[in-house]
Structure 1
Amino acid sequence: MPEHLYSQEAEQSVLGCMILDSRTIDYIKNLNGDDFYYESHKDLFNSIMLLNKKNKPIDLVTIVEQLKSIGKLEDVGGISYITSLSTIVPNTSSIGHYIDIVKGFSDKRRMIIASYKFIENIRGGKDIDSSLEIFEKSTNIIDEVKEYNNTLDYIMSNIFDKLNDKPQEKIKTNIAIIDKHTNGIGKKELIAIGAGSGVGKSAIALKISIEAYKKGKKVMIISREMSKEQVAERIILSETGISKLDYENRSFTESDWVKLTNTMSNYYTKNIIIDDQISTIQGIKRAIRVNKPDLVIVDYVQLLTPSSIKDTRERQVAELSRELKNITLDFGVPVIQLTQLAEKGNGNFRPRGESYTRESRAIYHDSNIVIYLHRVTEEKELNEAYKRTIFNERGSFDDMKATIEAQGIKGNKFLEIIVDKNRNGTTGSNYYWFKGSDLNYYPIV
């Protein structure tokens, strides 16, 4: 190992501080024996830490006896070397600095070894994703540091320090029923949005993306259902109000051209990333590291590629959902996973609970918030909608059905947006028109 990748003096100083003053061991949290380059220093460090764990005094006599008991005294240089360590430390109060040096060199060595192994795996024929996963597991330097911040005293202190700060800024969806019950989307939350085909799950995710972007957030959309050009065109339609038919036929008025120009200018940005090539969890992780988004949207989870093709489909989808949940915790970023709904007999029944997420109930269980989009067509549900909406004041039940039918001819769907699960809040639902021409949701008023 090149000389610049270790410091004998720093390792000696750490050990010297521990021998001179056992109270300095309290500062040793993210350091372990393997962080020392010299084998003799590893043995000496481990012996001191073992004595400390056993609540035994730490001095020259106890250290020597411990090393003798494991046959390592001569290996570390004998009594004379241990004695010399306590004489080379200028100041025990600088132990934090010495630890940082030792840990820094240890991290560099680990990264180099892992990099060599990564290259060997690639040359040996392993695919990139699995090789990267091995690399990440062998270089979990950040995770090691984090785990020492898990004691309740640290957590309570951190919470207390934040009490005078502004409340956590959540990402508002600008869809009243969702924001009412969730107060917006928070960091480390996994949100599942489920709907049948053509009901508008991609549209609602896109609407949330636009709202987040307008609030200064960086959004990353993983699209496995549409190309990145199609997603961008949906943004244009949603913001301009131009119908899909007019857009496809390039039938634009002078006013449309003004809207198009303004919209494309407003969205000429690097803060919305649309990737239609990523298909794996590892790919999503890499993209998050590179782009550092404030919100990630996966459209949709069942279209991602699982790590094992041998597992049952239910287990594959469960693993994908679990990994997306882990991403929210590891990166501190909210993730919205879109999901198809399971077919339930012949009727278009109102979804509720875990059994409606297609191919795996884990999607429901892993998510902090589950939102269903339901097209209301069944007689019983229409009756319920009539009682709960302004239709009740404006006319008869048959009048409402006639309005829904007329709107349907125009391409507008009568939907119930349902907040079915909310781990940290309330649940509820309300009714909306989904206007397919501009991909927007309008409350029934």
Structure 2
Amino acid sequence: MVKSKAVEIEQAILGTIILDNKLNYKLDDLNENMFMNSTCLEIFKIMKELRKEKIIIDVATVKSKIDEKSLAIKMSSLTSVITWGQTFGIDGYIKILKENLARRSINQNCQRLLEGINFGENIDTCIYKFENNIRKILDKDTYENDDVHSIAEKVLDFLESKKDVGFKFGISLLDSTIGGLFKGELTTIAAKSGVGKTALALQIMLNSAKQGKKTLFISREMTSEQVFMRNICKITGVSTRNMKSKEINESDWKLIVNAIGDLRENNLIYINDKIDTISAIRKRIRQIKPDLLIVDYVQLLTSQKSMEKREREVATFSRELKSMTLDFDIPIIQLSQLNDEMKDFRPYGDRPMRDSKAIYHDSNNVVYIHQLKGSDYEEAVKDIGESEELVRESEYRGIKIVDLIVAKCRDGQTRHKHFCYYGDRLHFQELNY
């Protein structure tokens, strides 16, 4: 914008408020950084001071404050401000002033980004800082449409729309309790190592693909090839052990080829084992625009700035993932390890989370996978109505009884149910009892 035009807009806003004191509340929408003209800035400060002191804002009171502070502002300058004042269009002018500030701030951050890159700073770190600063700039202008009328319109549109706003986990306990995977929601799946976190996440991913939804799977625990083989195992029943050792018979080959063909044709699954930072995840989301993001697992992400405490580092990862659900309007599933101190006790609340309780508190939904021991195991055997001998025999064949526990659901109740976990198939099957 031409500098003279920008000054005229600043003058018009201030002049309008001086002419119509009932509009002095508009000063609350403004701040000092918005004014480029030094005279307008000083007059704005005086007007803010008068409003704070609950003194009428007019030519006389503004001139009195100028004299009191011995400011080098001539009466002709104040008159010029008044001349540009008008009793309409102030909201439009304020909007322009905010946009001008945003442009200047973005331009400054672009310059800092280029300077950082040119001076040899880590590119990912430069981008991370840039994105955070840009988000802060844009977040400052997120107060529009927050009145009840606007919100009510959105709710009515939502209720009247026939479009599906979410999609299913494909696991009846989670769908009936949580309702499904919804935009803006962070779901945490947590368990001890080797209990089936990744298997459950992959089951949800494959179920999402059946619904035509695209998933980005960030793996920090396995290679993309290993994750893909697990998908093949879930679809075909051919164990990953056999695939790794290449002990595959003709019928297995046929199943594998067909499964790979279906996955390639749909092309709805993206598996990345190289991404390990929040900024890199954001970049990949912008590139492929997934319907669902899964991070396996949150404690294995890498921080882009040093933090003294591990707890703060992991809390930052979780908070950033929660922010992503809102920034990109998608559901996100983060996997998490549990503390070893829980031993064989049934997990509940935020205490079991490894490194940071923020993982629990940031989440809309928390699902624990609990391998049953002791009295929990005995109770489960009784619930399903099978003999302990038969259950023990199944365990010997790699079929375990586990509990899926919905420990937190912001929109519903908490529940748990017994499941069979088929280790060779990497598959969870709900038990009817």
- Structure 1 segment 48-127 matched on structure 2, within 5 A: 48-72=47-71, 74-75=72-73, 78-88=74-84, 92-127=87-122
Cα distance per residue 1:289-327 (max 9 Å; x no partner):
555544322110111123555624344333433443444
Deviation by residue 1:85-142 (Cα, 9 ceiling, x = unmatched): 33345x5322233223332222222222222223333444543344345434544221
Matches within 5 A, 1:194-273: 194-245=190-241, 247-248=243-244, 249=246, 251-253=249-251, 256=255, 259-260=258-259, 262-269=261-268, 272-273=269-270
The equivalent residue for 1:420 is 407
What residue is the counterpart of 1:160 in the other structure?
A: 152
| 8 A Cα contact 1:240 1:263, kept in partner | no
Q: Which residue of 2 aligns with 1:19?
A: 18
Tell which deviates more after alignment, 55-64 or 167-176.
167-176
Q: 1:102 is paired with a residue of what secondary structure?
A: helix
Q: Find the aligned partners of 1:67 and 1:352 in 2 and give their Cα distance.
A: 63
The alignment yields a C-alpha RMSD, in angstroms, of: 3.2
Q: Distance in 2 between matches of 1:319 and 1:355?
A: 18
Q: Could you tell me which residue of structure 1 aligns to residue 367 of structure 2?
A: 371
1:145 Cα offset (Å): 0.8
Do the aligned partners of residues 100 and 313 (structure 1) sit closer, same or farther apart at CA in structure 2, a change above 3 Å counting?
closer
**CA distance in structure 2 between the aligned counterparts of 1:175 and 1:143, rounded to whole angstroms:** 36
SS in structure 1 at match of 2:356: coil
> What SS class does the counterpart of residue 92 from structure 1 fall into?
coil
Question: What's the counterpart of residue 296 of structure 1?
Answer: 293
Residue of structure 1 in register with 2:388 after alignment: 397
Distance 1:144 1:315 in 2: 25
C-alpha change, 1:94 and 1:173, in structure 2 (3 Å) is same
Q: Secondary structure at the match of 1:37?
A: coil
Are the aligned partners of 2:401 and 2:418 in contact in 1 as well (CA < 8 Å)? yes
5+ residue gaps, structure 2, are none
> Do 1:341 and 1:358's aligned partners in 2 also have CA atoms closer than 8 Å?
yes
CA contact (8 A) 2:338 2:354 kept: yes
Match in the other structure for 2:336:
339
Question: Which residue in the other structure is 1:33 paired with?
Answer: 32
Task: List per-residue Cα deviations over 1:335-387 (Å, max 9, x = no partner).
Answer: 32211222248x644333433222333333433322111233x3422211122
User: Kindly, what percent of the aligned residue pairs are identical?
Assistant: 35
Equivalent residue number for residue 47 of structure 1: 46
State the match for 1:362 in structure 2.
358
Report deviation, 1:173: 0.9
Partner of 1:145: 141
2:27 and 2:48 in contact (8 A); partners too: no
Q: Unaligned 5+ residue runs, structure 1?
A: none
Contact 1:280 1:305 in 2 (8 A): yes
Does the aligned pair in 2 maintain the 1:296–1:335 contact within 8 Å?
A: yes
Structure 1 residue 429 and structure 2 residue 416: aligned? yes
Counterpart-to-counterpart distance in 1, 2:130 and 2:38: 25
Q: 1:23 to 1:135 in 2, by over 3 A?
A: farther
1:188 aligns with 2:184: yes
Query: 8 Å contact 1:246–1:252 — kept in the other structure?
Result: no
Question: 1:228 and 1:368, CA in 2 relative to 1: closer, same or farther beyond 3 A?
Answer: same
Q: Deviations over 1:125-179 (max 9, x none)?
A: 5433443454345442211112x359xxx35334422342335834421212222
- Do the aligned residues in 2 keep the contact of 1:182 with 1:422 (CA within 8 Å)? yes
- After superposition, the C-alpha distances for 1:378-417 in whole angstroms (9 at most, x for unaligned) are 342221112222xx1xx53323333333x42xxx333221
Q: Secondary structure at the match of 1:145?
A: coil
For 1:425, give the aligned amino acid.
Answer: G
**TM-score, length of structure 2 as denominator length:** 0.84
SS at match of 1:42: helix
**Aligned pairs, number:** 424
Distance 2:217 2:82 in 1: 57
Distance 1:206 1:66, change over 3 A: farther
Residues 233 and 27 of structure 1: is their aligned pair in 2 closer, same or farther, counting only changes over 3 Å?
A: farther
Separation in structure 2 between the aligned mates of residue 314 and residue 183 of structure 1, nearest angstrom: 31
Equivalent residues of 2:232, 2:256 under 8 A apart: no
CA positional deviation for 1:12: 2.9
Q: Give the alignment partner of residue 386 of structure 1, picking from 381, 389, 395.
A: 381
- Quick one: which amino acid aligns to residue 15 of structure 1? L
